[in-house]
Amino acid sequence: MRRRQFLRTALAGVTGFGLGCGASEKRTVEPGPEHFPQSVASGDPRPDSVILWTRVALDDGSDDVDVELELFTDEALQQPARWHDGPRQVVTASAEHDHCVKVRVTGLEPDTRYWYRFVVQQQGRWLASRTGQCRTAPAADSDRAIRFAFVACQDFGGRYYNGYAHLLTQPEVDFFVHLGDYIYETAGDEGFQAGTAGREVVFEDAAGVLEVSRSGDDGFQAARSLDNYRQLYRLFRSDRALQQVHERMAMLAIWDDHEFSDDCWGATATYQDGRVDETDLERRSHANQAWFEYMPVDYDDTEFEYDAGVAPPDDIRIYRSFRFGKHVQLVLTDLRSYRSDHLIPEDAYPGAVVVNQLTLMATGGVPDDASPYVEDIDAFGDGSVAQALRDAADAAGYPSGMITGPIHAGWINDVIAESAAAVDPIDEATLATLPRGYAYTDMMKGSLWGRIGSRYLVARDPFARYAAVRWSDSRGDSEQAMGDTQQQWFLDTMRSAETTWKVWGNEFCLTPLQIDLSLLSVPAAFKRVFHINVDDWNGMATRRDELLRELASIPNVVAITGDIHAFFAATPWVRDDPSKGIVEFVTSSISSTTFQRLLQNQVESDPVLSNVSGASALAGAIRDLLLLAPNGPNPHLAHADVTAHGYAIVEADAAAMQVTFFAHPEAEAMVEHYDDPDLDALFTPAYFRVDAGSRALWQRFGETWKRWDPAMQMWV
């Protein structure tokens, strides 16, 4: 089939593709779920339409397969639903698209539950998929409350989806929002992928795999070919709990990083921490095509068909908006396709000075924590220091040509000491005469390549000054998150929303996550405030401030967020104006390694931190550090659970939005509890509320609701 044919038979409204078989035709339909191994799914419900999905696998390995969709208004499948031309429609499951089928069913009634199945004919028998159900969105004038779930981060390898099994026990849920990391592109990454045997990811297309080898670990594999990515969707969606959730309710999904590559930006991966250029447009295209094929997504252009000939990010647009009655507008964004590189490159030379004394003087003066530096390393002394630095870089396999210009004096002395170079360190008298500024090492980058001091554990204050300089020099391009076009669409959509609640489906944390180590018994270099993660909005704080200023003027904006494998409830605000902020609820992972465990793994694998006494213990105490009070660095952060998995439920009406976190212990992700009669006992709920017209955050303790007071950093 040509690409446009796939569109016309599978994605456009189903008008005009009937088989000509009326509702009165008699035939026997038998169960055949084995021919639909990923079961069925629905997505992107609107008042008059929904996307229905399946994938077909026949015994004879057929190329293109005709598949019928049947739609009903009753669970017994006795009342065919008529939409446009008839109760049944035919579409083609093409080999070109891995035999996936997507149907955009239109002409439906609002706020109505439908049941559906797909039927295929083989050797004279009619074989049916499992039956799915979905509910269309309420009409714009509907006053009923909306109840939905939001989830994120469901690694398959060695882990089970107990959160989905528990979600199935919940009372009526209109739909669920998936905030990204629906699949994980890697297999065997020891930094975060470990668990129970029997849930391994083994790529069938071995020739198409990306082999990743890094110092400090045993290496792992990552998807690269189109079949690699398709296989991940086939495998992840083979899980019975996930299938049942898809069969029960519609999904609205966006991607985060792992649908393509961990901590990616655009088409660039970050596995090698800058050792090589990991930009790979073909790989990104493969990831995007598989997402297009397997996710039940409705595009603004109803005739959209993925074209691999169009280079990312122009190949697909996933940001979109949905209205559910009077009370919920859900706005979904894409924060990976258009974003800029991390502000601190993973391969940045730690000693390179990036904010000099003249710049600091022009922007308010030289702070006390600025460090002395050599103005020009090649002109310093007789050149022996420059040669010592380059010799050390050559020995480490680092490109010594990057060592040029102004260099941090403390870094110079550290390299001389560690390499036993036959040159004298810079003495105290000379240090006192040198200009002062900031190098990458002042932000905690201590290795030639690495995530620590680049994407994770970055010193807050020098990073903020560096980021401000970059923002000014680039006129904001240094902190692109959505890109100009999407950002304008996002703000226009939020401003024009007429619903009570404007809900932002946001991939990664708005809430600053900072730790203050200044009062702890740690080496002097660590006695400061750190960002834990700057791969998220904390690495684009000026852009975040810009958005929060706009969103604060819009009533009842709430962000729902995933990515970080922890539960947080918070009120993020503009850094210099706490009156301008919104409320954010962050759900933990369905199964992926928890936030605290990830931090501990990163500390243990980092060549610098692993040698710092007590660093692992600090990672193990991360919740206490985040919630440090009074006068802690996170007055906006009201709730943190960093060791649990789970999901969240939202209930929104004209008066309030209530959010419940359902959390289960980390160890239980290694055990399948799908049919456990005591499943509910595994989960601990935490209840929160935001009243319409207010940005105050409330939590229920027993039968008492208490309000978070940021000034006191406590519930009152």
Question: 225 CB contacts (<8 Å, ≥6 apart)?
Answer: 205, 207, 208, 209, 286
Count of Cβ atoms closer than 10 Å to residue 364 Cβ: 8
At position 389, the amino acid (one-letter code) is L
Q: Label residue 644 exposed, middle or buried (CB < 10 Å: 0-12, 13-18, 19+).
A: buried
Q: Residue 86: which pLDDT band, with cuts at 50, 70 and 90?
A: low
pLDDT of 7 strictly over 80: no
pLDDT (tens digit per residue) in 603-645: 887 777 777 777 888 889 999 999 999 999 999 999 999 999 9
Give the chain's radius of gyration (CA, Å).
27
* For range 678-682, the mean pLDDT: 97
Distance CA 22, CA 1 (A): 27
At position 318, the amino acid (one-letter code) is I
* For range 423-451, the mean pLDDT: 95
pLDDT (tens digit per residue) in 483-533: 999 999 999 999 999 999 999 999 999 999 999 999 888 888 889 999 999
Q: Residue 87: which pLDDT band, with cuts at 50, 70 and 90?
A: low
Between 2-11, 269-278, 619-628, the lowest mean confidence (pLDDT) is in 2-11
Q: Are 623 and 629 in contact (CB under 8 A)?
A: no
Q: Which of 40, 173, 54, 188 is nearest to 113 (CA)?
A: 173
Distance CA 680, CA 222 (A): 35
pLDDT of 4 strictly over 90: no
pLDDT recorded at residue 677: 95
Q: Are 333 and 505 in contact (CB under 8 A)?
A: yes
pLDDT (tens digit per residue) in 574-603: 999 999 999 999 999 999 999 999 998 888
Between 74-83, 454-463, 600-609, the lowest mean confidence (pLDDT) is in 600-609
Please give the CATH topology (third level) of the domain spanning 3-135.
Immunoglobulin-like (2.60.40)
pLDDT of 23 strictly over 80: no
Global pTM? 0.95
Quick one: DSSP state of residue 87?
Answer: S
pLDDT recorded at residue 607: 73
Quick one: DSSP state of residue 596?
Answer: H
With residues binned 3-state (H G I as helix, E B as strand, rest as coil), the percentages for the chain, rounded to 5, are 25, 25, 50
Q: Residue 17: which pLDDT band, with cuts at 50, 70 and 90?
A: very low
H or E segment and range at residue 353:
strand 353-355
pLDDT recorded at residue 216: 59
pLDDT recorded at residue 85: 56
Between 15-24, 159-168, 633-642, 693-702, the lowest mean confidence (pLDDT) is in 15-24
Q: Residue 217: which pLDDT band, with cuts at 50, 70 and 90?
A: low
pLDDT of 195 strictly over 80: no
Question: 249 CB contacts (<8 Å, ≥6 apart)?
Answer: 42, 133, 134, 135, 149, 173, 174, 175, 176
pLDDT of 24 strictly over 90: no
pLDDT of 6 strictly over 80: no
pLDDT (tens digit per residue) in 91-114: 999 999 999 999 999 999 999 999
Q: Label residue 77 exposed, middle or buried (CB < 10 Å: 0-12, 13-18, 19+).
A: middle
H or E segment and range at residue 126:
strand 125-128
* For range 424-439, the mean pLDDT: 97
Distance CA 501, CA 435 (A): 52
* For range 283-288, the mean pLDDT: 98
pLDDT of 11 strictly over 50: no
Distance CA 699, CA 573 (A): 19
Same fold, 3-135 and 146-339+480-715: no
In the chain, where are the structural domains located? 3-135, 146-339+480-715, 353-449
Please give the CATH topology (third level) of the domain spanning 146-339+480-715.
Purple Acid Phosphatase; chain A, domain 2 (3.60.21)
Q: Are 421 and 358 in contact (CB under 8 A)?
A: no
pLDDT (tens digit per residue) in 327-359: 999 999 999 999 999 999 999 999 999 999 999
Laid out side by side, the sheet with 210-212 consists of: 186-187, 220-222, 210-212
At position 148, the amino acid (one-letter code) is F
Q: Which of 49, 32, 201 is nearest to 125 (CA)?
A: 32
pLDDT of 149 strictly over 70: yes
pLDDT recorded at residue 58: 84
